[in-house]
Amino acid sequence: MKSPKSRQPHDSLQTALRSAFPIDTRRLTVLAALILAMIQARTVVLYTLKNHVVLKGSLETRYQRLLRFVQFPLPEELFARFSLSFLPGKELDLILDRTNWKLGQQDVNILLLSAVWSSCSFPLMWTVLPHRGASDQQDREALVERFVTACPHRKIRSLLADREFIGQHWFAFLDQQGIAPCIRLPARTTIGGARFPVWAAFKKLHPGEVRICHRPVTIYGATLRVAATKNQAREPLYLAYRGHARSNLRRYTQRWQTENLHAALKTRGFNLEDTGLTRAERVSTLLAVVSIAFI
């Protein structure tokens, strides 16, 4: 039996979460207990967390409550608004990325939308993909559309993404949504009416040098600008964007914040890949709980 003193953080957290998550009181009780247990134990393994959750009953009873909890997803729009409440009154720079791990022979593959914040990024919404490897354009469009529908009043300035996130339908979708891309291009990407590869437009690029196509060009059917630079490791970066080159190049460096987010959720933080869960709805619910704990 937990003492009243040991329940105080749980009760305080439950009170704080109630306005953001108007869900059944029993689920809210488990949510608060699970968040505190994750922070304390630094694990997402439910069988281990049963020893840390402040819930009534035997260890087996607590474990069964945790298992039932993750069977049903938290409303994603509630989580997105909760996350955005920590980023009030500002235009959003979104980051689209993918994280994955393997559990035995099973792949867990998550398409994740987050928002730039300080030295990290805040998770907003995600899709657990039913396959391994890269996302397709429809997956990305559906995810962004769900977020825009859930949070229609938040202005999106740009979307940052790596070379995986390209395609004509995808770029057209971003244009229709009024979202400026800040997306790295593969070297083979063809640009302009002549459809020559982007690397050919920036030959003999030196480390630290920045070059700009001074006129907008056609990239995957969209009219955008292109800039190129090369780091000290001599790795080139070709960036599709709108606006000013240097501000977009600076903005793109913030994409690496999502790596800090992944580290916090995974190996250097809550060890999400140790969950043992593979079913999409259970992984999604657990990711929501871990993300609340992270925030």
Cβ count within 10 A of residue 238: 24
Q: What is the pLDDT along the chain (295 residues), one digit of tens a residue?
A: 444 455 677 888 999 899 999 999 999 999 999 999 999 998 888 999 999 999 999 999 999 999 999 998 899 999 999 999 998 777 999 999 998 877 666 778 899 999 998 778 899 999 999 888 899 999 999 999 999 999 999 999 999 999 999 999 999 999 999 999 999 999 999 998 888 999 999 999 999 999 999 899 999 999 999 999 999 889 999 999 999 999 999 999 999 888 777 777 766 667 676 666 667 788 888 889 988 988 8
Provide the whole-model pTM: 0.90
Q: How far apart are the first and last CA of the chain?
A: 29
Domain ranges for the chain: 1-72, 78-258
Question: What is the chain's length?
Answer: 295
Contact in structure between 228 and 210 (CB atoms under 8 Å): yes
**Residue 144 belongs to what H/E stretch?**
helix 137-150
Contact in structure between 161 and 183 (CB atoms under 8 Å): yes
In CATH, the number for domain 78-258 is: 3.90.350.10
